[in-house]
């Protein structure tokens, strides 16, 4: 098993978001034939996230993501699976949001929504606002 220093590969620090529920849908025609995958978010920032799932996702697979949590309801966020590693009884999957990969896919509405979600899980912002 290879050990990866996740922090060195990220654009920006991720924040723990273990209570954030995530729904993953396949993109394109596969969406109609593949059931949605329910997942738990491990960490999150506005550029990507890590999730825990019971099913493996293929590296390079394009997905549509929905989020549910306290004060959060966001759907139809496109992403790209960058890696899926099998652990003891689940898979740890890394996803980058499409707008962070390709500037042609940038959407201000999605960027703002993901920034709001990130701010809810950023302990520095939460501490300063209290």
Domains plus CATH for the chain? Answer: 6-129 (2.40.10.220)
Are 49 and 92 within 8 A, CB to CB? Answer: no
- Three-class SS of residue 69? strand
What whole-number distance in Å separates Cα of residue 122 and Cα of residue 45? 9
pTM score of the predicted model? 0.82
pLDDT at 64: 96
Residue-wise pLDDT tens digits, 35-74: 899 999 999 999 999 999 999 999 999 999 999 988 889 9
pLDDT digits (tens, 9 = 90+) for 107-129: 999 999 999 999 999 877 665 44
CA distances from 128 to 6, 40, 48, 121, 122 (A): 27, 27, 24, 13, 10
> With bands split at pLDDT 50, 70 and 90, how would you rate the model's confidence at 86?
very high
């Amino acid at each position: 098993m290879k050990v990866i220093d996740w922090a060195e590969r990220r654009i920006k620090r991720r924040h723990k978001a273990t209570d954030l529920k995530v729904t993953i849908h396949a993109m394109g025609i596969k969406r109609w034939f593949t059931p949605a995958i329910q997942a738990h978010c491990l960490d999150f920032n506005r550029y990507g996230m890590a999730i825990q799932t019971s099913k493996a996702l293929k590296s390079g697979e394009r997905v549509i993501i929905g989020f549910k949590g306290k004060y959060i309801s966001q759907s139809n966020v496109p992403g790209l699976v960058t890696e899926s590693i099998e652990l003891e009884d689940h898979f740890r999957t890394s996803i980058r949001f499409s707008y962070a990969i390709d500037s042609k896919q940038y959407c201000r509405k999605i960027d703002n929504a993901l920034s709001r979600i990130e701010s809810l899980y950023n302990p520095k912002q939460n501490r300063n606002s209290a």
